[in-house]
Structure 1
Amino acid sequence: MKKPKLELDEPQPRKIIRADKAPTEGYSLVVDGHFKSHHDTVEAAEEAGMALKNRYQMLQIQVYDAVTKTRSMIEWPAPV
């Protein structure tokens, strides 16, 4: 005999971000030419990019600004 499935509240629909299209708001990390993660502030995007660059120096990492549609490189080591 099968147990009845409890139906709780419907799960919230996920906001799907496509990796092959440029975002329209916020900041994104571009790793070797591919959009990877999305951030609300430029500081958060740069911090995530620098953490990734510290682990894998060979990657080309950029921060993409969706409003101005510009990219800025993450340089390693970080400028002082």
Structure 2
Amino acid sequence: MKKPKLELDEPQARKFIRADRAPTEGYSLVVDGHFKSHHDTVEAAEEAGMKLKNQFQMLQIQVYDSATKTRTMIEWPAPSAA
């Protein structure tokens, strides 16, 4: 007995982000010189970077801004807001 095939709607096209090329929009985490996760806002990128830095202090983590093509280092421990 053959199983009926399920007809699904068209799958969404996946947006591939190459790790060896700088992104053209948004903000990305750079971990030890390699592009990793992509974020829409700088706050989201910094939050993800701090979570990673709190877990693994030895990593060099930067936030890459594609608009200005600059990198900002994530410092640990986080500077106190005094």
**Is TM more than 0.5 here?**
yes
CA distance in 1, matches of 2:52, 2:76: 10
Q: Which runs of 5+ in 1 are unaligned?
A: none
Q: Do structure 1's residue 44 and structure 2's residue 44 form an aligned pair?
A: yes
Q: Which runs of 5+ in 2 are unaligned?
A: none
Deviation track 1:33-57 (CA, whole Å, cap 9, x = no partner) reads 0000000110110000000000000
Pairs within 5 Å for 1:19-38:
19-38=19-38
TM value normalised by structure 1: 0.96
CA distance in 1, matches of 2:58, 2:70: 22
TM value normalised by structure 2: 0.94
Q: Where has structure 1 moved over 4 Å in runs of 4 or more?
A: none
RMSD: 0.7
Paired position in structure 2 for 1:5? 5
